[in-house]
Amino acid sequence: MGKAKGGRRAAGGARLLKTGDVVELSGLSRQVIYQYQAIGLLKAVEVTPTGHRLYAESVLTHLKLIQNLVKSGYTLRAIKDIFFKDRQRRRGDGRGEARGDGERGGPAPVDPVGD
């Protein structure tokens, strides 16, 4: 993994990465990044006027978590469900409560990047 070029920064000062930078730094293919975005696992924090997606630097940690869950046998659908159930539970809307078998719906709290 190399070092990303560029210097675009979010309002809070965090570095923003283009898709190519995310590909280079994560080791994942561009197609995987687009697939994760299409199914709702990733969200660009900004889209430039020329259509370039920009991601928060924290997307790299998020992608590593997704890959670890995939390697552990989770499907992408299950991973998405885990992320959103946890977010709903923390918002207190009740839809993310414990399952009927008494087990929680996933690992430690996680927010999809960009939400």
Q: Rounded to two decimals, what is the model's pTM? A: 0.66
| Strand ranges, E, within the chain | 16-18, 46-47, 53-56
Question: Distance between CA 113 and CA 61 in Å, rounded?
Answer: 9
Give me the residue spans of the domains in the chain: 16-91
Query: CA distances (Å), 44 to each of 75, 79, 99, in order?
Result: 22, 18, 31
Task: Tell me the CA end-to-end span of the chain in Å, nearest whole number.
Answer: 26
Instruction: Give the strands of the sheet with 46-47, arranged side by side.
Output: 16-18, 53-56, 46-47
Assign domain 16-91 to its CATH architecture. Orthogonal Bundle (1.10)
Q: What angle do CA 77, 79, 80 make, to 5 degrees?
A: 65
82: closest CA among 106, 104, 103, 114?
106
C-beta atoms surrounding 101 within 10 Å: 5
Question: Distance between CA 13 and CA 75 in Å, rounded?
Answer: 34
**For each of the chain's 115 residues, which pLDDT tens digit applies?**
445 555 676 666 678 999 999 999 999 999 999 999 999 999 999 999 999 999 999 999 999 999 999 999 999 999 999 888 766 666 665 444 444 333 444 444 444 555 4
